Amino acid sequence: MSFPDITIYTTKTCGYCKATKAFLTEHTVPFTEIDVGADQEKAREMIEVSGQMGVPVIVIGDEFVVGYDEEKLKELLKL
Q: What is the strand order of the sheet 6-10 is part of?
A: 32-35, 6-10, 57-60, 63-66
Is the pLDDT at 2 greater than 90? The verdict is no
CB atoms inside a 10 Å sphere around CB 24: 20
Query: Which whole number is the average pLDDT over 54-72?
Result: 95
Residues 22-61: tens digit of each pLDDT: 999 999 999 999 999 999 999 999 999 899 999 999 999 9
Q: Which CATH class is domain 6-74?
A: alpha beta
| pTM exceeding 0.85 | yes
